[in-house]
Structure 1
Amino acid sequence: MAAIVVVHGIGKQYLGARSLHGGIASALLDGVRLAGGPPVKAEDVEVAFYGHWFRPPGSTPTKGEPAYSHRDVTDPFEVELLLALWLEAARREPGRVPSPETGAAQLKAPVPYTVQRALHALARSSFLAGTADRFLIGVLKQVRRYLTDDGGVRDRIQREIAACVTDDNRVLVGHSLGSLIAYEALCAHPEWPVTTLVTIGSPLGIPNLVFDRLRPRPQTGKGSWPGLVRNWTNLCDRADVVALVKELAPLFPGKAREVTDVLVDNGWRAHAIERHLTAVETGAAIAAGLARDVS
């Protein structure tokens, strides 16, 4: 069975565990090799797949994302998350991304107009350059559905992850929304043998929208330490607006443990899982988890 389980991120609803496995496993093996880690084979890596729970009934892969427009973003959660991403992108790249010209007044404009402005601004960022509005809107909706357990999707996804974890698993890797899912799964199953958690491109620290909606709920501004994890490394690109809060250590204190926050450079695809996994820093975190288990 696999020693490493990877929980994928958003926008994979038209794929599957096997179709994702090749790229994810290859990238992970490259990162571990660059870090001088122990020998790892593709069969040592399993992809915990949950994307099908976001696939609309009756859809086919050829249809792609629904033809969302700015008028489909009306849910308060989705609007607030979109504006948070816009403000972060403008802060990171002031020369590329226009900020709300009138400050708070801009954000209080009628919702369709505000959403349209935010989408146009984000399209100019290096983070989302070349990304269609409908994809970004789909991202907002998937995060909202999971965190609000719309239609029971949160519980269904957690069952999918639990079915992938066995007594052989030692390292759990979570990307993007998958980092939330992996974290909550470890908290819900303190009996699991996983001792290393690696989160990449994680939105875990976004206040109000994400952090304060976690299960279990944070207490006095601090989140629970996940399960039996002894080592938690959190990696993100400094330009990644999804990983809006770059340092998780202050939010998730552990007894004699702490999150190791690491910045990586993923080039123009700051949030891509493959670029995260091929980074020597990510490889080192995974390799250390495997080595500690052997020792």
Structure 2
Amino acid sequence: MARVVVVHGIGQEFVGPESLGREVGPALRDGVRLATASRLEPEDVECAFYGNLYFEEGTRSLDIPPWDETDVDEGLEIELLVAWWEQAARVDPDVLGPDVAGSRGPVGFGASRLLLSERVRAALDALSGSHFFAKVSDRLLIFALRQVHRYMTEPELKRLAQARIAEEIAEDTRVLVAHSLGSVVAYEALCAHPEWPVTDFITLGSPLGMRSVVFDRLQPPPTDGIGSWPGGVERWTNIADRGDIVALADRLAPRFGGRVEDVSVSNGVRMHDLLRYLTASRTGRAVARGLGG
């Protein structure tokens, strides 16, 4: 079994474990080789895949409805959408933030459905024009919101996603690398399984530090504003591009304690891209360290 397991995030639901693994494995091995001159074998890296859980059995992309602004749910989905909008405005000069994009007040509880729809429409338009989302369609943006929402609120989906990681953990697994929403799945799985032999947890573009939508909903819940340490992990390296909108809180040490090592990288114009993160030299060094290199 693999010494390194990689957990994907949102946006991988149209592939599978084998096809994604053919990209993830070489990218991670490149990162280690470029950073340390060490070489991993193909069998050292495995991909834990849960993307298909978001579709009913026997269905795929043709079953995504033509969602629009009226389909974004009040609460978690709107909170996440507006948080992405605000962050996009901070890092992208071409994006007007919610405070200047219109004369209406902010989206929130108690607003009329018409006002909510208008502001959601403004948020979708702003994000689709940002460098980060690069003209992503409304329905795919809403699908991303739904994936986060469903994982955070549906116990059975959460259980099944974490089980996909458990299937890949073996006696010789030492490093768990997790991207985007996958870092939330991996974190909760590690907390639930302190007996796992994983010594190094590496998070890439992680939303774990995002209050309300993610951090405050974690299992186990934070205590006095500090999240639990993930199981038996010895080292936690959090890697984020400062322009990565998903990694709203790009430093996790303030949320999970000073033992977290926060590291910055630059992924160019593909700030949240999984392969860019995996080939980064700082990711390679963190993986090599976990393997004793």
User: Any residues of structure 2 matched to 1:71-220 within 5 Å, and which?
Assistant: 71-93=70-92, 95-100=93-98, 101=100, 105-107=105-107, 110-149=115-154, 152-220=156-224
Residue 41 of structure 2 is aligned to residue 36 of structure 1: no
Q: Structure 1 residues 132, 260: CA separation in 2 closer, same or farther (over 3 Å shift)?
A: same
User: Structure 1-normalised TM-score?
Assistant: 0.92
Paired residues of 1:89 and 1:125 also in contact (CA < 8 A): yes
Q: Structure 2 length normalisation: TM-score?
A: 0.93
Shift of 1:60: 3.3
Aligned equivalent of 2:233:
229
The number of aligned residues is: 286
Measured in 2, the distance between the counterparts of 1:60 and 1:249 equals: 38
Distance 1:289 1:127 in 2: 31
Q: Which residue does 1:54 correspond to in 2?
A: 54
Answer yes or no: is the 8 Å Cα contact 1:3–1:171 preserved in 2: yes
> CA 1:106 to 1:213, structure 2 compared with 1: closer, same or farther past 3 Å?
closer
Amino acid at match of 2:73: T
Counterpart amino acid of residue 77 in structure 2: E
Tell me the residue number matched to 1:284: 285
Q: CA, structure 1 residues 213+81, in 2 after alignment: closer, same or farther (shift >3 Å)?
A: same
Counterpart of 1:24 in structure 2 is: 24
Q: Deviations over 1:156-214 (max 9, x none)?
A: 11122112111110000000000001111111000000000000010000001100101
Structure 1 residues 119 and 231 mapped into 2: Cα distance closer, same or farther (>3 Å)? same
Quick check: 70-79 or 244-253, which moved more? 70-79
Separation in 2, partners of 1:264, 1:91: 18
In structure 1, what residue type is equivalent to 2:91? R
* Aligned residue type for 2:240: C
Instruction: Give the whole-Å Cα distance in 1 for the aligned partners of 2:241 and 2:132.
Output: 10
1:106-136 deviation digits (Å, cap 9, x = unpaired): 4356111111100111122211112122111
Contact 1:249 1:259 in 2 (8 A): yes
Cα separation, 1, equivalents of 2:254 and 2:138: 33
Code of the residue aligned with 1:180 in structure 2: it is V
Equivalent AA in structure 1 for residue 95 of structure 2: V
Aligned to 1:5: 5
One-letter amino acid of the structure 2 residue matched with residue 10 of structure 1: I
Q: Which runs of 5+ in 1 are unaligned?
A: none
> Retained in 2: the 8 A contact 1:172–1:197?
yes
Contact 2:206 2:240 in 1 (8 A): yes
Larger mean Cα displacement after TM superposition, 10-19 or 231-240: 10-19
Q: Determine the C-alpha separation between the residues in 2 that align with 1:281 and 1:119.
A: 33
Asked if structure 2 preserves the Cα contact closer than 8 Å seen for 1:14 and 1:55, the reply is no
Which letter does structure 2 place at the counterpart of 1:139? Answer: A
User: Which AA in structure 1 matches 2:128?
Assistant: A
**What letter corresponds to residue 43 of structure 1 in structure 2?**
E
Point out the more displaced range, 1-10 or 34-43.
34-43
Question: 1:66: how far off?
Answer: 3.5
Indicate the residue corresponding to 2:68 in structure 1: 69
> What is the identity, as a one-letter code, of the residue corresponding to 1:179?
S
Q: Deviations over 1:213-237 (max 9, x none)?
A: 0110000000011111111110111
What is the rounded CA distance, in whole Å, between the counterparts of 2:182 and 2:103 in structure 1?
Answer: 33
Q: Is contact 1:37–1:284 with CA below 8 Å preserved after alignment?
A: no
Residue 260 of structure 2 corresponds to which residue in structure 1?
259
The ranges of structure 1 where at least 4 consecutive aligned residues each deviate by more than 4 angstroms after the TM superposition are: none
